[in-house]
Amino acid sequence: MKVLTSLLTFVIITTPLVTSAQGLVTSLVNIGAFVYDTLIPFLLGIAFLIVVINIVRYFVIDAANEQSRSDARMYAIYAVAAFVCLALFWAVVSLVALDIGLDADTPTPDYFEVS
């Protein structure tokens, strides 16, 4: 099942490239834009939600139970670490995109002009 899922994902991603419906550069730009504009903010929101839920669990819901408090504290720490890692990943993606000239304002052609 795992191999089938991986193969299906690969086919879905590479089908536009194989059928020439989309160039390689455009495809990479679109994947980068999806990661930068959609995926990373979504994951940051999920990490923030987990932090808030575990803080509420730590101070309000399971205040009397020491085992539940320690679990909530551990999950909150992991969520903060994930939040920091995602923010760093977002910054690195942004720096790389700006460094190679993949601005949102600049259109990227599918070809390179030969002088």
- Which structure tokens are listed for 51? 């932090």
Residues 6+ apart with CB under 8 A from 111: 23
CA dist., res. 36 & res. 5, Å (int): 24
3-state secondary structure of 6: helix
- pTM (2 d.p.): 0.52
**In a structure prediction context, what are the per-residue pLDDT tens digits for the chain, which is 115 residues long?**
778 888 888 877 777 666 655 566 676 777 777 877 788 788 888 888 888 887 787 777 777 778 877 887 788 888 888 888 888 887 887 787 777 666 656 565 666 666 6
Q: How far apart are CA 82 and CA 86, in angstroms?
A: 6
Give one word for 113, left, alpha or beta, with left for phi > 0 and alpha for psi -120 to 50: beta
